[in-house]
Structure 1
Amino acid sequence: MLSKVISAVCLTLWVSSCAISAAEDPHMARALKLMSETPLIDGHNDLPWQLRKQFNNQLNKVDLNTLDTTHTNIPKIKQGKLGAQFWSAYVPCDSQYKDAVRQTLEQIDVVHRMCQKYPDTFMFATSSQDIRTAFGQNKTASLIGVEGGHSIDSSMGTLRTMYQLGVRYLTLTHSCNTPWADNWLVDEGSDPSEHDGLSPFGKQVVVEMNRLGMLIDLAHVTVKVMNQVLDMSEAPVIFSHSSAYSICQHKRNVPDDVLKRVQEKKGIVMVNFYNDYVTCSETANISDVADHFDHIKKVAGPDIIGFGGDYDGVTRLPEGLEDVSKVPNVVAELLRRGWTDEEVKKALGDNLLRVFTEAEAVRERLTNNKPDDVPIPYAEVKNSCRTSHGYPDVEEPTGAANSLSTLALQLTLALQALLLLSAL
């Protein structure tokens, strides 16, 4: 009870300070007004990963009203006027071929439980209409994006199951190749290309995501994969947390030719706030972030821009954007630079709502298509942690028991040889 009182007092003080600063800064006053009319939809926040790292997902030990070791908590969300958030269900690449699916399900679970624990703040959302409904109720629409194709373990059934649990985008790779797609480190030269972009199964995944209505996130893939997906996807694509390569030449950012193709595809690039992607250095400020918004608008127009802060997933953030409460500072800066109200509203949420609505429309058009149940070839996923059940032409390894039997046999034969030698 005390924590809620403290939170309410802090929020009241912040609102008072905002009123004073807004009175002093007409751009901030206008920014806050626009954010009260159009939901700010952020494409990527790693708070669920912080809940795992810091508390092993033990939400009973956490109070999001007072948590002060993250970029995100409830008072900061209210201060930042966060209308909708794609929470990242992320697990590291070292879980690939091991327990990635289990860990991802646990991250999906923690988002569901977060919404259940704080129903006055969060509304679990799975559709564009849910975002609008939550905004009308003054709640933060809470959606799930799975960050990394390794989380589905090359399984269409797992992809579909995650969709049923509320996942509405999949980032095709994180910072490792999957058995069916190359990641951005290939372009950097630190990982070898394994598939020349997407493998045939990777293309199956894209088609199945279109059928489901799951957004395809290209934030961590190679340029080759970006173009392959743009060639074949029937629905608009997203970059949930990437910035402009021409401003900061980091391989996680989006080159101009791809920005133009995203425009043609009517997709969206949601600008990342991580200093390394903003200035390619350890320091950055609000103006540097706004430069990315300006550049994307200049190259491909205002219809493909969004916000993808990457809060709680990065170690360095621009001065003035230290946590989610500070996002209105970017909006005020865009207005200061001459952005119109309509352009700002597009970037805040209208663009993402349009993309999401179109993906849902594609799903409806494909509703009579059968689910893809052709599995990935076993040779492409064979490893010591995977069985071959269901692959009729593959002899199933007999496992550890057989290995132990073989070892016992070898020891027995060795012992018999030693006894034979001693007898001689």
Structure 2
Amino acid sequence: MLPLMLAKRRKLNCIQPRLIAFMLFTMTSGTHLKESALELMTKYPLVDGHNDLALQLRIFRNNRLRQIDLHNFSNVATDINRLRAGHVGGQMFSAYVMCPAQDKDAVRLTLEQIDVIRRMCSEYPEFELVTTAQALMSSKKIACLISIEGGHSIDSSLATLRMFYQLGVRSMALTHTCNTPWAESSSKLYKVYSRKNNSLTDFGKAVVLEMNRLGMMIDLSHSSWDTAEAVLHFSKAPVIFSHSSAFAVCGHERNVPDQLLRMLKENTGVVMVNLHSGFLACGDKGNVSIAADHFDHIKNVIGAESIGIGGDYDGAKMFPHGLEDVSTYPALIQELLRRNWTEEELADLLRRNFLRVFHRVEEVRDEMELVHPGEEEIPLLEAANPCPIVYIAKSRSQTL
């Protein structure tokens, strides 16, 4: 018995140093990757394509900023301290109103959301409101961009679209979870404005053209695949999917199938991967590895030069383990480094791809300088607003 016990002990003594060495290597490797991720994100601060903090400001405080300290806002996934910890250098904040406001008070509600984003980004010194690609690239603060999430916010009015641009809006999603009278949503939640074989109407094309002329990014997240395809064929400028993931990895209708990814590649646009568990793991909680699978798939299909990040924090409720709020972005970059993504690829993903698209959108705007503002009006039969005001000209004799 004694020789057998001695033999086992010798065997354990042989194994133990190897086990310790492996554990030390793993810990050292993990520490090195973490340090590399933080160093990389310091050099290339993230530009994130979608955040719904403004929605939470309305829900929790009815947009009363003086009742909140945005350095530490515990009810949400986004605050200044966590944005800094996440190495976020630019954030697209969404001015979102719910679809039931369509044909009612959507324009007013959207104006109020734009107002709270503008106030937030001017009252806090850590933020800086930017409206150009150059200003975004040069900012040393957390640069704020304003987007509109859902074309129902313009009430089928090109003039309203132009006024939103004047207020600083630089991106608009054509739809949210409801169809507009001129574009189709990926969602079937609402039955309004259902059409067959007309996913982008003539007025919808006028909206796309006017966004090109203004220099406003077209966002195809939430649009149906048919609408996205129509826009990719029609737009003169590159487009974005501000917060959408890969359909091949998670078969959710909000995600982008490979055929649209390839069209996006030709368009030179960018898909900014959504980190909501429902779109990453199809309903399961998920983890950082599953999130990275989406990035790997898109890179394999169209290359790292077409990818960004659009976290969707504070717009969705369930996020993967390890990616619970905006402070956790370094964990994702660490995982991509572990999967042998290069510094150049990650620099593109973190900010350079979005900046390239933004620059090109502005170039298209400049090329269209001589194009007059659109004056198209949507036919009343297409916009089923129950209470429109229609001005009818009268002769001079009738007015006297």
TM-score (norm: length of structure 1): 0.84
Deviation readout 1:315-339 (Å, 9 max, x if unpaired): 1000001100001100110000000
- Residue 152 of structure 1 aligns to which amino acid in structure 2? I
Superposed, which structure 2 residues align to 1:96-245 within 5 Å? 96-119=102-125, 121-134=126-139, 137=140, 139-186=141-188, 193-194=194-195, 196-245=198-247
Write out per-residue CA displacement over residues 121-152 of structure 1, whole angstroms, 9 at most, x where no aligned residue: 10001111111121xx2x11100010000000
Shift of 1:190: 7.2
Task: Give 1:39 shift.
Answer: 2.5
Helix, strand or coil: the match of 2:145?
A: strand
| Residue 189 (structure 1) shift | 11
Structure 2: runs of 5+ lacking an equivalent: 1-26, 395-400
Provide the residue aligned with 1:17 in structure 2.
none
1:272 aligned onto 2:277: no
Q: Does 1:72 align with 2:78?
A: yes
Three-state SS of the structure 1 residue aligned to 2:108 is helix
Other structure's SS at 2:148 match: strand
1:197 deviates by 0.6
Structure 1: where are the runs of 5+ without partners?
Answer: 1-20, 393-424
**Deviation string, structure 1 residues 56-112 (Cα, Å, up to 9, x no partner):** 000011111121000001110110010100000000001001100000000000011
Partner of 2:17: none
**Equivalent position SS for 1:372:** coil
Aligned equivalents of 2:29, 2:117: Cα separation in 1: 37
Are 2:73 and 1:47 aligned? no
Amino acid at match of 1:377: P
Q: Which residue of 1 aligns with 2:98?
A: 92
2:351 is aligned with 1:346: no
CA distance in structure 2 between the aligned counterparts of 1:36 and 1:385, rounded to whole angstroms = 53
The range that moved more, 146-155 or 382-391, is: 382-391
Contact 2:244 2:310 in 1 (8 A): yes
3-state DSSP of counterpart to 1:234: coil
Q: Distance in 1 between matches of 2:385 and 2:130?
A: 37
Question: Which residue identity is paired with 2:187?
Answer: L
Q: Matched residues in 2 for 1:25 and 1:389: separation?
A: 68
Q: 2:259 aligns with which of 257, 260, 268?
A: 257
Cα distance in 2 for residues equivalent to 1:282 and 1:154: 37
CA contact (8 A) 1:98 1:385 kept: no
**Which secondary structure state, in structure 1, belongs to the residue aligned with residue 381 of structure 2?**
helix
The corresponding residue for 2:357 is 355
Alpha-carbon deviation of 1:282? Answer: 2.9
1:189/1:390 CA distance change after superposition, 3 Å: closer
State the alpha-carbon separation in 2 of the partners of residues 152 and 70 from structure 1. Answer: 28
Give percent identity, aligned residues only.
Answer: 49
Residue 323 (structure 2) pairs with residue 321 (structure 1): yes
Residue identity in the other structure for 2:129: F
Query: What is the TM-score normalised by the length of structure 2?
Result: 0.89
Question: What is the alpha-carbon root mean square deviation over aligned residues?
Answer: 1.7
SS at match of 1:102: helix
1:201-231 superposed Cα distances (whole Å, 9 cap, x missing partner) = 0010001100001000000111111110010
Where does residue 292 of structure 2 map in the other structure? 290
Q: Deviations over 1:239-283 (max 9, x none)?
A: 000000000000000000100111111100000011110010231
Deviation at 1:27, TM superposition (A): 1.2
What is the one-letter code of the residue matched to 2:186?
W
Return the letter of the residue paired with 1:112: R
